[in-house]
Amino acid sequence: MRGLEGRDVTRSEDELPLPVFIGPTDAPAVGVVGGGLGADSMVDALRAGGRYRAGVVDGIAIPAMAPCDILIFPERIDPKTYTKDHCWLIWDWVGAGGALVLTHDAVGYRDHPVLFPWVCSGGTAHVENAPVDVIWARPGCVPVGRIMPIYPEHILLQPCIRADMTPIAIDPDTEKPAVMGAAFDTGKVVACGLALGASPKEHDVTLTEGECGLLEAMLDWLLR
């Protein structure tokens, strides 16, 4: 697959700590894989929002992913740390009923592999310094509407035509999806073309109110 070099996982599963979730005890557990753009910021935002139990997942391994109701996999700061072994573990986890969010290049753009080609085959282009329109909300709620992400680009996604796809956010000029969800078999995947929680210099930064609204919309779609 594009962007993979066949390297082995550097640590055994037993050496990876289990995620520590903070939030209401009866709330869904959301794990954010560390080492990606905006990972720590998304954890902070979810904990502050109070609707989820959020924690950092310190590596792709079965024991670390097992307690997660939702796994967020942000764009890797160093894509070479993303291996074929990791892809196989994520496939198996989603195939067993997991709910996954991929952000920015992790949707399969530039040097990141197309992880779920039957959901999203990557991106067609990226748009700089432009807003997106969040058009989906859980029943009884109003969509967030137009937001301006802090990271100065978003990716226009290429959905698989066979996927049962739900647009969550679109590019207002082209009306192409910037965030979309797809369900297949027993798993669900959201492809998000935005780098939530990342600054233009690729440092973690506090999510805006609009970005928090988009993040919650994605999780709501996965949990519906």
pLDDT digits (tens, 9 = 90+) for 74-116: 999 888 878 888 999 999 999 999 999 999 999 999 999 999 8
> Is the residue at 80 inside a domain?
yes
Instruction: Render pLDDT for 3-59 as a digit per residue (tens, 0 to 9).
Output: 333 334 444 455 788 999 999 999 999 999 998 999 999 999 999 999 999 999 998
Q: Is residue 6 part of a domain?
A: no
Beta-strand pair 164-170/177-184 = antiparallel
Percent of the chain with pLDDT over 90: 79
Q: Is the residue at 2 inside a domain? A: no
Q: What's the 3-state SS for the chain?
A: CCCCCCCCCCCCHHHCCCCCCECCCCCCEEEEECCECCHHHHHHHHHHHCCCEEEEECCCCHHHHCCCCEEEECCECCHHHCCHHHHHHHHHHHHCCCEEEEEHHHHCCCCCCCCCCCCEEEEEEEEECCCEEECCCCCCCCCCEEECCCCCEEEEEEECCCCEEEEEEECCCCCCEEEEEEEECCEEEEEECCCCCECCCCCECCCCHHHHHHHHHHHHHHHC
CATH number at residue 37: 3.40.50.880
Residue 94 maps to a domain: yes
Q: What percent of the chain has pLDDT over 70?
A: 92
| Number of domains into which the chain is organized | 1
Tokens of 162: 């066979």
- In-domain check, residue 7: no
Q: Is residue 3 part of a domain?
A: no
The answer to whether residue 162 sits within a structural domain is: yes
Domain hosting residue 91, numbered range: 13-223
Does residue 190 lie in a domain region?
yes
Give me the sign of the Cα torsion angle 50, 71, 182, 110.
positive
For the entire predicted model, the pTM comes to 0.92
The predicted structure's pLDDT at residue 14: 56
